[in-house]
Chain A
Amino acid sequence: MLKIENLHAGVEDKNILKGINLEVKPGEVHAIMGPNGSGKSTLSSVVAGKEEYEVTDGKIFFEGEDIEELAAEERAHKGIFLSFQYPVEIPGVSVTNFIKTAINESRKAKGLEDMPAKDMLKLIRDKAELLEIDRKFLSRSLNEGFSGGEKKRNEIFQMAMLEPKLAILDETDSGLDIDALRIVANGVNKLKSKDNAVVVITHYQRLLDYIVPDFVHVLHNGRIVKSGGKELAHELEERGYDWIKEEAANA
């Protein structure tokens, strides 16, 4: 589904990613872990198509197609979803209207008519229930004055509405208390299927107790320096990242 080959990318003159190789197949859950500043968020932004980042070498394929030239919205239409570490506040646009616009724009791109209002309402209701979201919450301005937990739950709600093929969850666990973490993780697990894939980007192993990865990759200094199964996450939790840094330095 997603294939990244020797990806080098950066912002302005700063190289951040220095040769990433990664393959994610349908049905898989991958975790990308790593210390602060290792390039985790850059990787997610580059895959989602943020313009400020420049790809200097390497390729990103999504379902076999090189997506380098595609705008962020075109990547979204193809089924890539990024859950933001810091969701942006947009005063004046309600959660409902935002997601309605997003869904109908995606449909427009596929040559479909707007979703009938009745179906839209039902879909919103069902997905809100799945994530234990209060209906009142949906009429509030997008992310404005939301608590950390509400923001993240809202991200997963949008994911549930848009039903992406590939979901990248960037530090979705940061700022969540244990209850919110459980709700968010349950939501993600319910949305998981053999046809879609999830990439969880996280600093801590905590979220991975709930969303269990098939593969764990450690990112350090712009490269994946170690890959393994879910037990690698536990090892990182116990031993920290220093030994990884040392290994990488000695390699």
Chain B
Amino acid sequence: MDLKDKLVSSFLAFENRVDVDTHVHNVRSEAIKVFEEKGFPTKKEEAWKYTSLNKVLKEDYSVFPKQENALDYKDVKKYLIHDTDTYNVVFIDGKYSSHLSQTTHDGIDVCLMSSALTSPKYRLIIENHFNKAATADSLSSLNTAFSQEGVYIHIPKNKIADKPIQFINFSTGTEASTLLQPRNLVVAEENSHVQIIERHQSLTTNPVLTNSVTEIFTKKRAIVDYYKIQNDSENASLIDNTFIKQQRESIASVHTFSFGGKLIRNNLNFFQEGERIDSILKGVTILGDKQHVDHNTLVHHIEPNCESHQDYKGIFGDSSTGVFNGKIIVEKEAQKTNAFQSNNNILLSDKASINTKPQLEIFADDVKCSHGCTIGQLDESAMFYMQSRGIPKKEAKALLMYAFSNNVLNSVKIPELKQRITKIIANKLGVNIGFDL
């Protein structure tokens, strides 16, 4: 039985485990129909032209983990940003680990999706937001159909989350291969502010596939800073579907750091539903081996006087491959839009490749839109310059790559996170240099 059939038939088993008499379950039932009809995307679809899921979908994934696993803090500490105070929500094989987590209901809500979906206290918020930002594409629908666990974050009006929230999904590999489908919801009410760090970490060489959906709502004047660390092990693949609905004068930023994993697909979608909105999409990708990362972004400018800023840097070594597909739609009403997009890439080897494609659909006539993409090699004259000052080749190369991704790193607003990312990059490049750029 192929994975699609297996999933569709698993839905009945899933229904035995959840309350089917709810609004949420109606949404799930609709979603499984959509998935059944559409199936997994193939390379025939324009948006999937350069990314094939075939290999990843061949595994015989276990859909519901059979046993609960525990992890010791000391074994997972290194994956958490632990040198600053944060709220933590930790999942192990899709199950919540209370002993590694620190949630809260004090002023803000940082808790589990499973409780938010069932508790009457959150019913209104869930009804108004759950699956209201996600689109009905096949992978998001698949996630919606099985949506049950994940992170639920609600920041009330005028509240500032007192510390960053980080959540991390561990997979342990007790199953031969695991499919995880976390479902997250973030609602930042009017004039609130929150910083969120998301990470997926496999602790096994067994294959893991994560198909996650995160819906984020930024209400009037709210600010959401969202960071994704994608530095997973060699047999872990991730399909990240993130949908952000913004109301007037809100600012939402998503930084995506892609350093590891077998295959990563980021579907990042911004919908601007008000005036004077700012949307920020930034990313640093550094790959080697046969890794593959596909950034598929959409910014939908619907109302006038809004901005979007996209800046993605990619460094590709060995036989790694990258895709950047950035779509900007400016509706007829969205006059005075400022939309900027840039995608710069360095290829370190002859076998590495990148496909980059900007897509601008502009229906308004008074807008400023720019896009640019570059693909190059490391600057040899800069290498010699640095070497002649005593900086060895490997370090010189690392320094150039840092410099290349510097403006993205610099916009990370959590200092400990920035430090951590710098460290991951240094490890990745095999250097030990203490420079802080």
Contacts and interface: CB of A to CB of B under 8 A. Distances in A.
Given A92-B406, A93-B403, A51 B392 contact: no
Interface in A26-84: 48-52, 71-73, 75-77, 81-82, 84
B87 to A, nearest CB: 33
A93 to B, nearest CB: 5
A249 interface: no
A47 B384 CA distance: 13
B13 interface: no
Contacts of B386: 90, 98, 102
B404 A100 contact: no
Contacts of B435: 97, 100-101
DSSP majority for the B interface? helix
Interface in A176-192: none
A49 B393 CA distance: 13
A158 B407 contact: no
A105 B395 contact: yes
A96 to B, nearest CB: 10
A162 B388 contact: no
Task: Bin the interface of chain A by size.
Answer: 35 or more
A77 B390 contact: yes
A158 to B, nearest CB: 6
Interface string A87-116: 110111110011111111110010000100
Interface string B280-307: 0000000000000000000000000000
Contacts of A81: 388
Given A97-B436, A100-B435, A101-B399, A90 B382 contact: yes
Interface string B409-437: 00000000000000000000000011111
Contacts of A97: 435-437
A82 to B, nearest CB: 5
B384 A72 contact: yes
Contacts of A99: 389
Contact of A49 (B388, B392, B407): B388
Given A50-B384, A106-B390, A162-B389, A101 B407 contact: no
B437 A76 contact: no
A171 to B, nearest CB: 15
A100 B433 CA distance: 10
Contact of B387 (A72, A103, A104): A72
B106 interface: no
B324 to A, nearest CB: 20
B389 A114 contact: no
B76 interface: no
B400 interface: yes
B403 A162 contact: no
B399 to A, nearest CB: 6
Q: Which 8 A-B pairs have the closest CB atoms?
A: A92-B403, A92-B406, A76-B390, A72-B387, A102-B389, A106-B390, A88-B385, A73-B387
17 contacts: A72-B387, A72-B388, A73-B387, A73-B388, A73-B392, A81-B388, A82-B388, A91-B406, A97-B436, A98-B386, A101-B391, A101-B395, A101-B435, A105-B390, A105-B391, A105-B395, A106-B390
